[in-house]
């Protein structure tokens, strides 16, 4: 028997054939992967970390009972960007405690939804600072059920921010310049009908659909309905996703435990009256079932020929982990339609059923396109009925929805996080092996650096990539998806940044790929600006730049943001008023200029100083003109006493700034006169760079000069308003018994006198400064007109000035400013004061020793020490920490803190690092009206970026 049994042992064990040993992935499986997949499979709402569009990260703690906020900010001393310390949300007391499972920011990042395991939804709203959010109670229809969890939620669009958009599509090189393709687009997404108000919608496990919305007064209410009959406990939903139908309605897709997809259309009938500020009735929600899909499993992709595309024998074990609904994209050429995207995690092939080698666990994408068809619901045979009065064709057609399945798409590993970005035209996949992939939605092609230096479409194509690193269970992207924050099982977080693959941008080599990289950064910055996103993450990945690179980048930013800074050649041009008012793109561009050249709290490059001072001048001018116009006819109306506390620091700052500008100008003139070198444009520019003094450039620049011209009227008004009280005080002190006039109480004089002191603090007559600014205005406009410069040419000149260069056409004016205007008198006649040089008008010795250090524009060692020991409120323009604290007339020394050090917390800008008093209602020294006004005008730092609360009363420098 043994001899008859002839067995080939080599063949039995396969040794007769070559054995292909698969390459072992060096990346170890992420700890907690199985548990995370169970979470993803059981609910569509289990996002543990999220990054808001305005720069704040919210994450659920490892124990599931706390939400921590982390602000993304820049350290002043080092210039490094980082996530700050955890600031826990104050959860409402007296509620039943369940583990928290989902966090989600609104579109603008002002509101945060927190969902617990029992399906309770809590809303928190930002209050003056990114890391201070308050719980907002909502008037709900009825108490939430403890067994009805949330399986999907969606924030509705906010008007007007999400309605109209300028989409930055691409940048193309034309010789040595870049041309930008930026086109407007109108979105028709479902939205709250009242401008600026927020709303969101969510589906619960057993089919209840709820809409949370804000009233006119920002209070929250709720409306609800069911998506059909109450679902039995045997077939609840596990996942749901929403998408715009591009007609102001919503589409909803829901996945149940029977592995079926339900497609619904949601129409919301709002009862809001945009003209009325009173409460409106709750909206009505109408839900219609449009389609049902039974076979939602991935097909067997390795044996299609044998199975004819049917579900594999082992496919029942495939687990749905992500359900997304991708809306129509703005790009009409890609033929996009609303698309349901389901991601399943497939286990290794079950060996008993498959002849193929066992494969690793991975994800498979299953997609359905949502097609709309117009069809008549009546059959044509009904025309044969003689008793009918109308033909079938006369019956209105109806829109039907059809789910058409697309080919499945296998991925190389398990997807742990997925994010559609850039108007859902790009898809980001985060895998269990640590890989982050960007794919085009239309083709699913991976976007990689392609070396194209003539056309730029995205950061990834231009050379910025996420390096492969250790995987994370939870991951969220920054507003511009160029940074990621990773959350591990133990609750620790780590930042991942895109890295530039073509060398470094910190050199001046002429590699055209570097120019393309700067164009890509500009393109993304323009996209962020037009979507009201923070762009801090863009500057975080840029890294240090040389002076030339900063110059090139800033030029691209002005062009890519399409900022017009020309202010014309006569009074008919009103562009300076446009830039003064609501001009967020202008502010964002100046803010970028500032941060690119800021190397410390008081150290800035010349162009950075220019930008920072223009931002300050713009803000101060807004306050001066706004307060003045609020009084009506200023010839008949004095400053209202209640307005004065908010005005004192602003007026003091304007006066000191005039002194700073003139002192800067005299210092520059002395430097130039001390050398025998002929004064040429090159010599003047070199002196500006070496001295780092921007005064001359600011006076030549149209916008800041126009702002300085606007100061004259409000300052004269302040002077007139306060001199009456000063005169009454002087006369009262010499009267018998020192009695005061009955119409002017001591309390009023106490309020008015600090403002009087502020407007009279200069060692020279401030109107000489106003005359100088007027002369420069006339000279610059005249030379532009004489040379027949177009708007585009003037724009180029103005950009050169901001970047520290003097255009040839303006050099004669610049030369006159630092020579004749300072030293050379044309006449001694007092009847023509405009012809007398500045040195004859003012005491230059007093000006030299007039201390303007507190303005923060000087870079001396003394200025550095002073800045370290003091804090100046960047909005109120008062010293609020250190010796010489400047309080309001209604504040007492005790209210300011012992030893001149304030005890209240500060708000600090997340980008530039400047601070302001953390003013809230009830703060000593501030009236309720003053607080309300400040909250309105200081929603952002003057550089346009958000605040974070810094406890302990001192600014954070590192």
Can you spell out the DSSP letters for 833-881?
GGGS-HHHHS-HHHHHT---GGGS---SHHHHHHHHH-EEBTTT--EEE
- Put simply, whether the predicted model's pTM sits higher than 0.95 gets the answer no
**What pLDDT score does 373 carry?**
82
**What pLDDT score does 95 carry?**
75
Q: For residue 727, give every residue at least 6 positions away whose Cβ sits within 8 Å of its Cβ, in sequence order, or none.
A: none
Q: Which of 172-181, 308-317, 784-793 has the lowest mean pLDDT?
A: 308-317
Q: Which of 149, 159, 123, 157 is nearest to 43 (CA)?
A: 149
Q: Which of 238-242, 273-277, 299-303, 337-341 has the lowest mean pLDDT?
A: 299-303
Looking at the domain assignment, is residue 709 inside a domain?
yes
Q: Is the dihedral of CA 552, 554, 559, 561 positive or negative?
A: positive
Residue given tokens 């305005």 in the structure block = 54
Looking at the domain assignment, is residue 510 inside a domain?
no
What's the Cα-to-Cα distance from 413 to each of 361, 433, 908, rounded to whole Å? Answer: 7, 7, 42
Q: For residue 158, give every residue at least 6 positions away whose Cβ sits within 8 Å of its Cβ, in sequence order, or none.
A: 106, 107, 108, 191, 192, 196, 197, 198
**What pLDDT score does 466 carry?**
96
Cβ–Cβ under 8 Å, residues 163 and 187 = yes
Residues 645, 701: one domain?
A: yes
636 pLDDT above the threshold of 50: yes
Measured CA angle at 923 (ends 922, 928), to 5 deg: 50
| Cα diameter, the chain | 141
Tell me 308's DSSP state.
T
Cα(716)–Cα(771) distance, integer angstroms = 14
Residues 824, 879: one domain?
A: no
530-539 residues labelled b (16+ CB within 10 A) or e (exposed): bbbbbbbbbb
Looking at the domain assignment, is residue 426 inside a domain?
yes
Q: Which of 276, 145, 138 is nearest to 220 (CA)?
A: 138
Indicate the length of the chain as a whole number: 958
Instruction: Please state, rounded to an integer, the average pLDDT across all residues of the chain.
Output: 86
What is the rounded average pLDDT of the residues 73-92?
92
Residues 863, 928: one domain?
A: no
Q: For residue 638, give every residue at least 6 positions away whose Cβ sits within 8 Å of its Cβ, in sequence order, or none.
A: 720, 721, 724
5 pLDDT above the threshold of 90: no
Looking at the domain assignment, is residue 685 inside a domain?
yes
Looking at the domain assignment, is residue 718 inside a domain?
yes
Residues 664, 678: one domain?
A: yes
The phi-psi region of residue 599 (left if phi > 0; otherwise alpha if psi is between -120 and 50; otherwise beta) is alpha
Q: For residue 779, give every residue at least 6 positions away whose Cβ sits within 8 Å of its Cβ, in sequence order, or none.
A: 813, 816
pLDDT band at 235 (very low <50, low <70, confident <90, very high): confident
Q: Is the dihedral of CA 128, 130, 133, 136 positive or negative?
A: positive
956 pLDDT above the threshold of 80: no
Pairing of strands 483-487, 426-431: unpaired
Pairing of strands 138-139, 220-226: parallel
249-259 residues labelled b (16+ CB within 10 A) or e (exposed): bbbbbbbbeeb
Q: Which of 452-466, 826-840, 858-872, 909-923 has the lowest mean pLDDT?
A: 826-840
What is the rounded average pLDDT of the residues 73-97?
90
Looking at the domain assignment, is residue 332 inside a domain?
yes
What is the rounded average pLDDT of the residues 613-632?
94
Cβ–Cβ under 8 Å, residues 955 and 912 = no
Residues 827, 939: one domain?
A: no
Looking at the domain assignment, is residue 830 inside a domain?
yes
Q: Which of 1-15, 332-346, 460-474, 485-499 has the lowest mean pLDDT?
A: 1-15
**What pLDDT score does 402 carry?**
92
The DSSP annotation for 239-303 comes to EEEEEE-SSS-EEEEEEETTS-EEEEEEEEE----TT--S--PPPEEEEEEEEEE---SPB-TT-
Residues 876, 820: one domain?
A: no
Residues 952, 825: one domain?
A: no
Looking at the domain assignment, is residue 165 inside a domain?
no
**What pLDDT score does 394 carry?**
61
564 pLDDT above the threshold of 90: yes
319 pLDDT above the threshold of 90: yes
Provide the β-strand partners of residue 345: 319, 363
pLDDT band at 351 (very low <50, low <70, confident <90, very high): low
Q: Which of 839, 842, 837, 707 is nearest to 777 (CA)?
A: 707
Highest mean pLDDT of the ranges 100-109, 145-154, 741-750: 100-109
Cβ–Cβ under 8 Å, residues 148 and 206 = yes
Provide the β-strand partners of residue 173: 178
3-class DSSP assignment, residue 333: helix
**What pLDDT score does 360 carry?**
81
- Pick the more confident residue, 232 or 516: 516
943 pLDDT above the threshold of 90: yes
- Pick the more confident residue, 19 or 649: 649
In the numeric block, which tokens belong to residue 96? 């039943």
Residues 851, 888: one domain?
A: no
What is the rounded average pLDDT of the residues 55-69?
95
**What pLDDT score does 228 carry?**
77
What is the rounded average pLDDT of the residues 280-309?
77
Structural domain including 840 reads 639-730+745-869
Q: Which of 603-607, 749-753, 767-771 has the lowest mean pLDDT?
A: 749-753
Q: Which of 580-594, 763-777, 891-905 has the lowest mean pLDDT?
A: 891-905
**What pLDDT score does 393 carry?**
63
**What pLDDT score does 596 carry?**
95
Q: Is the dihedral of CA 614, 616, 618, 621 positive or negative?
A: negative
pLDDT band at 396 (very low <50, low <70, confident <90, very high): low
- Pick the more confident residue, 434 or 357: 434
Residues 865, 933: one domain?
A: no
pLDDT band at 388 (very low <50, low <70, confident <90, very high): low
What is the rounded average pLDDT of the residues 740-763?
79
What is the rounded average pLDDT of the residues 16-30?
48
Highest mean pLDDT of the ranges 359-373, 411-425, 824-838: 411-425
**Residue 394 CB: number of other CB atoms within 10 A?**
9
Q: Which of 222, 260, 217, 221 is nearest to 238 (CA)?
A: 260
pLDDT band at 356 (very low <50, low <70, confident <90, very high): low
Residue 186: HSE in the Cβ half-sphere, 13 Å Cα cutoff: 3
199 pLDDT above the threshold of 90: yes
**What pLDDT score does 221 carry?**
94
3-class DSSP assignment, residue 385: coil
**What pLDDT score does 391 carry?**
62
380 pLDDT above the threshold of 70: no
In the numeric block, which tokens belong to residue 716? 């004269």
- Pick the more confident residue, 332 or 573: 573
- Pick the more confident residue, 816 or 726: 816
Residues 416, 429: one domain?
A: yes
512-522 residues labelled b (16+ CB within 10 A) or e (exposed): ebbbbbbbbbb
Residues 753, 804: one domain?
A: yes
pLDDT in tens, 467-496: 998 899 999 999 999 999 999 888 889 999
Cα(535)–Cα(55) distance, integer angstroms = 9
Q: Which of 466, 458, 454 is nearest to 441 (CA)?
A: 458
Cβ–Cβ under 8 Å, residues 591 and 605 = no
Number of domains in the chain: 3
pLDDT band at 714 (very low <50, low <70, confident <90, very high): very high
Residues 720, 795: one domain?
A: yes
The phi-psi region of residue 216 (left if phi > 0; otherwise alpha if psi is between -120 and 50; otherwise beta) is alpha
Residue given tokens 């307060």 in the structure block = 627
* Boundary of a domain, candidates 385, 407, 434: 434
Cβ–Cβ under 8 Å, residues 642 and 927 = yes
The DSSP annotation for 154-165 comes to EEPB-TTTTTEE
**What pLDDT score does 890 carry?**
59
What is the rounded average pLDDT of the residues 709-737?
74
């Amino acid at each position: 028997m043994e001899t008859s049994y002839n067995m080939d042992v080599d063949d039995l064990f396969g040794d007769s054939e070559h054995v292909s040993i698969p390459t072992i992935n060096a990346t170890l499986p992420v700890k907690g992967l199985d548990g995370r997949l169970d979470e993803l499979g059981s609910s569509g709402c289990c996002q543990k970390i999220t990054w808001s569009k305005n720069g704040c990260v919210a994450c659920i703690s490892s124990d599931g009972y706390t939400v921590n906020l982390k602000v993304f900010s820049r350290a002043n001393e080092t210039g490094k960007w980082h996530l700050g310390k955890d600031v826990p949300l104050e959860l409402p007391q007296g509620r039943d405690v369940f583990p928290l499972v989902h966090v989600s920011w609104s579109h603008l990042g002002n509101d945060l939804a927190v969902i617990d395991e029992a399906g309770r939804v809590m809303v928190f709203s930002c209050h003056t600072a990114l890391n201070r959010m308050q719980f907002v109670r909502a008037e709900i229809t009825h108490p939430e059920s403890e067994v009805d969890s949330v399986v999907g939620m969606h924030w509705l669009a906010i008007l007007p921010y999400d309605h109209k958009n300028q989409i930055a599509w691409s940048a193309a090189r034309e010789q040595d310049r870049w041309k930008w393709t930026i086109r407007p687009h109108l979105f028709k997404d479902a939205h709250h009908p009242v401008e600026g108000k927020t709303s969101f919608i969510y589906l619960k496990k057993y089919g209840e659909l709820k809409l949370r919305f804000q009233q006119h007064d920002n209070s929250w209410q709720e409306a609800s309905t069911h998506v059909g009959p109450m679902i039995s406990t045997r077939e609840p939903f596990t996942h749901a996703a929403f998408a715009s139908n591009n007609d102001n309605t919503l589409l909803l897709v829901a996945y149940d435990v029977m592995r079926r997809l339900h497609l619904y259309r949601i129409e919301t009938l709002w009862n809001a009256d945009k003209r009325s500020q009173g409460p409106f009735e709750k909206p009505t929600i109408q839900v219609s079932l449009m389609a049902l899909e039974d076979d939602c499993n991935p097909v067997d992709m390795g044996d299609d020929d044998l199975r004819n595309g049917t579900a594999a024998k082992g496919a029942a074990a495939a687990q749905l982990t992500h359900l997304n609904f991708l809306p129509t994209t703005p790009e009409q050429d890609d033929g996009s339609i609303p698309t349901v995207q389901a991601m399943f995690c497939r286990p290794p092939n079950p060996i008993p059923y498959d002849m193929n080698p066992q494969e690793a666990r991975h994800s498979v994408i299953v997609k359905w396109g949502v097609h709309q068809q117009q069809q008549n619901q009546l059959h044509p045979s009904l025309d044969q009925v003689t008793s009918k009065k109308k033909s079938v064709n006369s019956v209105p057609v109806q829109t039907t929805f059809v789910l058409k399945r697309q080919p499945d798409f296998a991925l190389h590993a398990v997807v742990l996080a997925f994010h559609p970005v850039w108007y859902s035209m790009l898809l980001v996949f985060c895998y269990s092996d640590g890989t982050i992939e960007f794919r085009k939605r239309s083709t699913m092609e991976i976007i990689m650096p392609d070396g194209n230096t003539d056309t730029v479409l995205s950061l990834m194509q231009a050379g910025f990539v996420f390096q492969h690193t250790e995987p994370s269970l939870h991951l969220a992207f920054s507003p511009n998806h160029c940074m990621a924050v990773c959350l591990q099982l133990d609750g620790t977080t780590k930042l991942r940044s895109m890295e530039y693959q073509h060398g470094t941008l910190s050199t001046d080599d002429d590699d055209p790929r570097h120019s393309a990289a700067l164009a890509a950064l500009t393109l993304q910055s323009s996209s962020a600006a037009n979507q009201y996103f923070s762009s801090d993450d863009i500057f975080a990945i840029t890294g240090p730049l040389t002076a030339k690179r900063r110059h090139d980048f800033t030029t691209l930013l002005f062009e890519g943001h399409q900022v017009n800074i020309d202010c014309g050649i006569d009074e008919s041009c009103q562009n300076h008023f446009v830039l003064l008012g609501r001009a967020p793109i202008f502010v964002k561009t100046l803010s970028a200029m500032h941060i690119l050249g800021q190397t410390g709290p008081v150290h800035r490059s010349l162009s950075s100083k220019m930008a920072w001072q223009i931002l300050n001048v713009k803000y101060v001018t807004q306050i001066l003109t706004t307060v003045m116009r609020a009084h009506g006819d200023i010839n008949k109306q004095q400053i209202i006493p209640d307005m004065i506390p908010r005005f004192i620091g602003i007026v003091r700052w304007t006066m000191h700034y005039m002194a700073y500008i003139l002192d800067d100008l005299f210092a520059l003139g002395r430097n130039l006169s001390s050398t025998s070198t002929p004064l040429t444009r090159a010599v003047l520019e070199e002196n500006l760079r070496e001295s780092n003094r921007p005064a001359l450039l600011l006076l030549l620049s149209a916008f800041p000069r126009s702002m300085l011209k606007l100061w004259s009227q409000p300052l004269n008004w302040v002077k007139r308003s306060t001199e009456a009280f000063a005169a009454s005080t002087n006369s009262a002190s010499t009267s018998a018994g020192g009695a005061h006039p009955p119409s002017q109480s001591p309390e009023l004089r106490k309020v008015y006198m600090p403002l009087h002191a502020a407007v009279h603090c200069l060692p020279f007559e401030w109107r000489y400064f106003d005359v100088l600014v007027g002369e420069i205005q006339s000279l610059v406009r005249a030379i532009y007109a004489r040379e027949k410069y177009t708007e585009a040419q003037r724009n180029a000149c103005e950009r050169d000035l901001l970047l520290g260069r003097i255009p040839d056409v303006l050099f004669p004016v610049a030369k006159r400013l630092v020579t004749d205007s300072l030293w050379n008198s044309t006449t001694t006649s007092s009847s023509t004061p405009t012809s007398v040089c500045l040195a004859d008008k003012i005491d230059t010795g007093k000006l030299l020793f007039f201390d303007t250090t507190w303005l923060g524009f000087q870079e001396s060692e003394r200025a550095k020490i002073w800045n370290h020991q003091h804090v100046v409120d960047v909005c109120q323009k008062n010293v609020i920490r250190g010796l010489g604290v400047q309080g309001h007339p209604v504040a007492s020394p005790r209210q300011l803190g012992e030893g001149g050090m304030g005890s209240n917390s500060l708000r600090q800008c997340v980008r530039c690092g400047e601070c302001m008093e953390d003013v809230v209602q009830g703060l000593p020294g501030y009236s309720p009206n003053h607080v309300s006004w400040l909250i309105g005008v200081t929603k952002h730092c003057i550089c346009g970026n958000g605040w974070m609360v810094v406890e302990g009363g001192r600014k954070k420098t590192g």
